[in-house]
Structure 1
Amino acid sequence: MQQLWRFLTQEAGVPKARIVTMSLLAGGGNALMLALLNLAAASGEHAGQGRLFAAYLATFALHFYTQRRAMLQAMGAVERTVERLRLRITDKVRRAPLGFIEQAGGLPGFAALTQDTQVIAQSGSQVVTTLQSVVVLAFTTVYLAWLSPLACLAVVLSMGSFVLMRIVRQSAVGETMERAHAKEIEFQRALDDVVYGAKELRLSRRERQRMRAHLAQSIEESRALKLDAHRSVIFDQLFGGVALLLLLTAVVFVLPAVLPQGSQTTQQLVATILYILGPVSTLVQGLAALGAIEADIGHFYALEARLDATIEPHHRRAVPPLRQFREIRLERVSLRYLDADGTAPFTSGPHELTLVAGETVYVVGANGAGKSTLLKLVTGLRAAQRGRLLLDGVPVEPRTLEAYRSLFSAVFADFHLFPRLYGLPEGVDDAMVNAWIERLGLAAKTRCEGGRLTHTDLSTGQRKRLAFLVAVLEQRPICVFDELAADQDPAFRRRFYEELLPALKAQGRTLLVVSHDDAYFHCADRLLRLDAGRIVADTRQAAGMLPAAGTEAPA
């Protein structure tokens, strides 16, 4: 239970002393009620019955109050701690390098932030009930020793052996649950394929059938592993119950023959052992549940450890954004993509490239030529394995990387449109955004209200236009557009190349545009042609297209 102990002791906000105190009082009150019941039963019609009844009611009230307080405090504290932990790890995901995010394989790679938290949230109440069961067993053991040392010894030996066996077997159960968790991740990845591959699946019955078979296999294997783990837990629970019933049999039939005693003592022993059944069952279930919680907390900390090993140093301290530059230069910059077996199927570079402020540069080439990778290197989203990236003659280092990236606004080919416009600077209000929405021909589709787009379930081309307006309104000196015109109608494509981009250039923006539209290559100052990951031509044009007379420059 190392991870659970770390979670409960090192994470801030858990009032451990109050929770433990309330749990001890609740468990002690539970055991005291048993003693009072036995005393009342033994006293018969004795005059002290009234006092015993009053004491029992007071103990019952104490038990109810302390148990309720302990449960509520533990549940609330754990929920708050899980909330902080999720936010902390999510923040580290946000700060992790792009390569780490891409290798994680989408949301299933971060399952610890979603499905595992539901189990961890139960840890507060589970720890309290398990601790109370231990306290009850401790007090009832003392009470048993007072009634019959031999019966107490038998109970301690049998229950101690049982709990020890359960702890030893827990590691095997934990391994089985880990394998089941891996199968759940595999199922989630397959489910991603079902959602994001909906078009392809509808075109192929064979593909749908094989996909369904894979999903069914993943679910079946996960079910079998979970059932195997639960089978072990159920066996342990039944074994513990049988052990106590055998003890009860020995107390009633064997103990009087070995050690003669009054029937009243035997009745008290029977009542006490029967009373123990509940806490023992709770303890066994608690150990099983805490094992599952331990595994899920382990997933949390394992993810955090992987993130800590990759977080870029520049994120540890905020830096002011840059508003201008003179030139960006790539010197022998290269990046190799590696497969799982270590082979490099694609290498980008080495690149020798200089970008000057105010230029309009088109990046062209066939699919797979490495255009998007070049953009990631230029923007600093992927770190070069060799070579240097320089800004105004100064190498970009980890401590200056965030400031360097603040030069860029981008719409990538695999862009994501945020419904809430987080990145807009102060002074950009809904009216300005809505004016742009109307200008881009989307006024009938969506609006901006309170900094949030009312509808984003639009076509890819329409969503790209919204991403374009966000990039423009971020007011950064360099705009990067990766195949933005690819999903547009001919009329908007023409506006994009001959009106919108020249207007941005007239403001002094530097434009880096990936394009296949050779009919508009004349609008660029330079053409960078890529092939097989390398720049094979860098052609300067006579002049880029300037804004036509009367064209309104973007705000």
Structure 2
Amino acid sequence: MGILWLLLKASWVRVVIATLMGIVSGGCSVRLIALVNTTLSKGAMPSAIALFAGLVLLALISGSLAQFLLIDLAQDSVYQLRLRLSQRILSAPLRQLERLGPSQLLAVLTKDVQAISDTVFVIPYICIDIAIIGGCAIYLGWLSGWVLVATVIFMVVAIVLVQFLINAAHRYLRQARREVDRLFQHFRSITDGIKELKLHSTRRQRFFDEDLEVTAAASRYYQKRAFKIAALATGGGQLLFFLLIGLLLFGVPQVAPTAQSVLPAYILTLTYLLGPLENLIQQLPTLANANVSIQKVNEMGLTLAENAEIDTAVWQTSKADWETLELRSVVHSYQGEEANHHFTTGPISLTLKAGELIFIVGGNGSGKSTLAKLITGLYIPESGELQLDGVPIVDANREWYRQYFSAIYSDFYLFERLISAEDLTLDAQAQEFLKRLELDQKVTVQSGQLSTVALSQGQRKRLALLTAYLEDRPIYLFDEWAADQDPIFREIFYTQLLGDLKQRGKTVLVISHDDHYFHVADRMIKLNYGQIESDVSGDFSTKEKSHESS
């Protein structure tokens, strides 16, 4: 039902047309069987050849049209599913995405969508098989009503038995799917933690033996159980089908001798049915697997949609001449995986002024990055509010507000495509700034595209600085940007690049532990356990001189 609903949502009109074409194709196939039976029992009629050729041609054309329609429809539905799910991820609150984690999101976007896509591919053939089965049932009823009733009763019992097995397989598939989420998490641990694993043999071995292998084995166990039960259902279905033919051959003549005349036609039709029925039964595990994936996709989609941010257009461009940004009693809480792990940032009241160069400092876990995400609008306060020049930031204008910021977080992602406020001179601007960043010998820019991002972490951060520079937003935020830089470029960042941004009228927020460069700040905000411990403005150069003399 999940696959059918997916197709109907894509285009119910095409589903109806394809169904009608399938019925025509199935009807032609059944009429061919009837023609073959009549010819075998009574001899060929003068018009039989023309009728045979016409039925074959009509069955081919209608069947092909139905398949073409369903192929287009199936691929369109998967296309829409991918885009809809991606859009919901993009519109979900950042905090919710962080709770779900990249492993769960990737499992849905890759494994589940692929499972649905693989199943959708066979839907056209399943529909044709169903049409043929339905047409054959009508023909069997025309031959002998009571034999059809007996056949249907037998097949209903057989279907119930097969469905019982399929339901059991479905339960194991759901359990296997839960293990896949854990498996993707372990795969991410391998890719992200490979250095740590290589350096610690005990950790590596225990991770492999107690985490990865255990989860992979559990997934294998549930998959094996599911597909073995499905194979049993397939074999059982075939056995019951041949049992039906045996009952018709040897049982019906004993019970109703008058029905013996239609038995050859019955046996011929049922034998023809074997192919479509086998195909249908063999696809049952695939359909069950796809339904599990659809449930997972729907759960993820609903989870994301429940708290989705309002999709609003940027109703006006960000102003370079803004004056004040206020945080008024802003609070944000973080609930860790453990029940007793609860951290609250705030309430924080803070006023930022245009043109300031502000350092945000504090120990690890003091709330610096959380405050940065609150300021940039990525985290939505649980209480309190943000105001820009007296305008409250709410759902309706949050997207507009975010356009004021260019940010490089400690866990930044580097896109190869550059975007500039002045696209006509993008390549020239980028190449000039690459020289300042001492990357012009490693990276080139052509048509707004970076030639490579496969660089060291420090060099990648410089490229991220390039992208932020080209965006030319009013407010810049750097979260521990200098942590991966060599001493020479760290000096350039603090003493030249930050000053250049300030001279261009930008407001700059810098999260930093580099107390050696605190003197370049106009203002320093210190956090401790989610609270502002101090907020000091002034000339910090004397403190720096004292630091150097000591």
Do they superpose with TM above 0.5?
Answer: yes
Contact 1:434 1:443 in 2 (8 A): yes
Q: 1:14 to 1:525 in 2, by over 3 A?
A: farther
**Match of residue 461, structure 1, among 454, 458, 466:** 458
Cα distance change on mapping 1:422 and 1:154 into 2, 3 Å: farther
2:394 to 374, 394, 397: 397
Aligned partner letter, 1:205: S
> Residue by residue, what CA displacement relative to the aligned partner does 1:347-397 show, whole Å, maximum 9, x if unpaired?
212222211111111111222222111111111111122222222233222
Counterpart of 1:226? 223
Aligned in 2, Cα 1:291/1:262: closer, same or farther, shift over 3 Å?
closer
Q: 2:48 aligned to 46, 52, 57, which one? A: 52
1:280 to 277, 282, 290: 277
Deviation of 1:251 after TM superposition, in Å, equals 2.1
State the SS of the aligned residue for 2:23: helix
Q: Which residue of 2 aligns with 1:382?
A: 379
Using the TM superposition, name which of 60-69 and 281-290 deviates more.
281-290
Q: 1:297 aligns with which of 279, 287, 294?
A: 294
Within 2, Cα distance between the matches of 1:54 and 1:263? 30
Distance (Å, rounded) in 1 between the aligned partners of 2:345 and 2:50? 83
For the residues of structure 1 that align with 2:13 and 2:289, how far apart are their CA atoms? 20
1:483 pairs with one of 480, 483, 489: 480
Question: Contact 2:26–2:134 at 8 Å: present in 1 too?
Answer: no
Which SS does the other structure have where 1:121 is aligned? helix
One-letter amino acid of the structure 1 residue matched with residue 15 of structure 2: K
> Taking structure 1 as reference, are residues 110 and 475 closer, same or farther at Cα in structure 2, changes over 3 Å only?
same
Is residue 338 from structure 1 mapped to residue 342 from structure 2 by the alignment? no
Residue correspondence of structure 1 range 420-499 to structure 2 within 5 A: 420-422=417-419, 425-499=422-496
Question: Following the alignment from structure 1 to structure 2, what is the Cα–Cα distance between the partners of residues 433 and 137?
Answer: 65
- Residue identity opposite 1:42 in structure 2: S
Measure how far apart 1:408 and its partner are.
0.9
Deviation at 1:286, TM superposition (A): 4.0
User: What corresponds to 2:205 in structure 1?
Assistant: 209
Q: CA deviation at 1:272?
A: 2.1
Partner of 1:358: 355
The amino acid across from 1:362 in the alignment is F
Residue type of the alignment partner of 2:41: A
- Name the residue aligned to 2:547: none
| Residues 127, 286 of structure 1: 8 Å contact kept | no
Measured at CA, do residues 13 and 244 of structure 1 come closer, stay the same or move farther in structure 2, by a change above 3 Å? closer
Change (3 A) 1:160 1:53: farther
In structure 2, the residue matched to 1:130 is 126
Provide the rounded CA distance (Å) in 1 between the counterparts of 2:102 and 2:11.
Answer: 30
Among 83, 100, 106, the alignment partner of 2:96 is 100
Structure 2 residue 18 is the aligned partner of structure 1 residue 22? no
Please give the per-residue CA displacement for 1:394-439, whole angstroms capped at 9, x wherever unaligned. Answer: 3222212122211111111111111112465544411111111122
Residue aligning to 1:522: 519
- The structure-2 alpha-carbon separation of the partners of 1:502 and 1:422, relative to structure 1 and needing over 3 Å to count, comes to closer
AA partner of residue 17 (structure 2): R
Structure 1 residue aligned with 2:505, among 486, 508, 511?
A: 508
- In structure 1, distance between residues paired with 2:278 and 2:361: 69
Q: Which amino acid aligns with 1:87?
A: L
1:195 aligns with 2:194: no
The one-letter code sitting in structure 2 at the alignment partner of 1:224 is Y
Q: Partners in 2 of 1:38 and 1:486 — Cα distance?
A: 83
Partner Cα separation in structure 2 for residue 257 and residue 130 of structure 1: 36
AA in 1 matched with 2:54 = A
Unmatched segments (≥5 aa) in structure 1: 546-555
> How much has 1:346 moved relative to structure 2?
2.0
1:176 and 1:446 mapped to 2: Cα distance?
50
Q: Quote the Cα distance in structure 2 between the aligned partners of 1:85 and 1:255.
A: 51
Give the aligned residue type for 1:495.
Answer: I
Larger mean CA deviation between 534-543 and 73-82 belongs to 534-543
Where 1:322 maps in the other structure, the secondary structure is: coil
Question: For 1:3-27, what per-residue CA distance to the aligned partner results, in whole angstroms no more than 9, with x for missing partners?
Answer: 3333122234861222112211121
Matches within 5 A, 1:5-154: 5-12=4-11, 15-44=14-43, 46=44, 48=45, 51-154=47-150
Instruction: Give the secondary-structure state (helix, strand or coil) at the position aligned to 1:100.
Output: helix
Question: CA–CA distance in 2 between the matches of 1:483 and 1:354?
Answer: 22
2:267 to 261, 270, 295: 270
**SS state at 2:327 partner:** strand
Secondary structure at 1:316's aligned position in 2? Answer: coil
Whole-Å separation in 2 of the counterparts to 1:156 and 1:142: 11
What SS does structure 2 have at the residue aligned with 1:363?
Answer: strand
How far the C-alpha of 1:195 sits from its partner, in A, is 0.5
Q: Distance in 2 between matches of 1:426 and 1:7?
A: 40
Give the conservation status (yes or no) of the 8 Å contact 2:92–2:308.
yes
Question: 5+ residue gaps in structure 2?
Answer: 543-550
In 2: Cα distance, 1:252 partner to 1:403 partner: 76
User: Number of paired residues?
Assistant: 540
Q: Is the 8 A contact 1:408 1:480 kept in 2?
A: yes
Taking the aligned partners of 1:539 and 1:298, their CA distance within structure 2 comes to: 53
**Residue in 2 that maps onto 1:552:** none
Q: What is the letter of the counterpart of residue 185 of structure 1?
A: D
Distance change (3 Å), C-alpha of 1:128 and 1:450? same
Post-superposition shift, 1:457? Answer: 0.8
Comparing 250-259 and 511-520, the one that deviates more: 250-259
Q: Per-residue deviation at 1:284?
A: 2.3
Tell me the alpha carbon deviations over residues 29-77 of structure 1, each in whole angstroms, 9 at most, x when there is no partner: 2212211221121134x4x2x5323322322222222222222221122
**Deviation digits for residues 184-225 of structure 1 (CA, Å, limit 9, x no counterpart):** 111111000000101001001122222222222222211221
Which runs of 4 or more aligned residues in structure 1 lie more than 6 Å from their structure 2 counterparts after TM superposition? none
Distance (Å, rounded) in 2 between the aligned partners of 1:345 and 1:234: 49
- Please state whether the residue corresponding to 2:251 is helix, strand or coil: helix
Q: Tell me which amino acid in the other structure corresponds to 1:17.
A: V
Other structure's SS at 1:476 match:
coil
* Alpha-carbon offset, residue 82 of structure 1: 1.6
Q: Which residue of structure 1 lines up, in the alignment, with residue 176 of structure 2?
A: 180
Aligned partners of 1:319 and 1:403 also within 8 Å: yes
CA gap of 1:109–1:450, structure 2 versus 1, over 3 A, is same
Identity of aligned residues (%): 32
> Aligned partners of 2:419, 2:100: CA distance in 1, in Å?
24
Deviation of residue 257 (structure 1)? 2.2
Secondary structure of the structure 1 residue equivalent to 2:206: helix
SS at match of 1:429: helix
Give the letter for the 2:8 counterpart.
Answer: T
Q: 1:481 Cα deviation (Å)?
A: 0.8
1:150: how far off?
Answer: 4.1
SS in 2 for 1:240: helix
Distance 1:363 1:262 in 2: 92
- Which amino acid in 2 is paired with 1:23? G
Give the SS at the match of 1:241: helix
Structure 2 distance, partners of 1:470, 1:251, is 76
Q: How far has the Cα of 1:28 moved from its partner?
A: 1.3
- Is 318-327 or 424-433 further displaced after alignment? 424-433
The answer to whether the Cα contact below 8 Å between 2:479 and 2:510 also exists between their aligned partners in 1 is: yes
Cα distance change, pair 540–279 in 1 and its aligned pair in 2 (3 A): same
CA deviations on 1:423-468 (whole Å, 9 max, x unpaired) are 6554441111111112210011111111111110111110111111
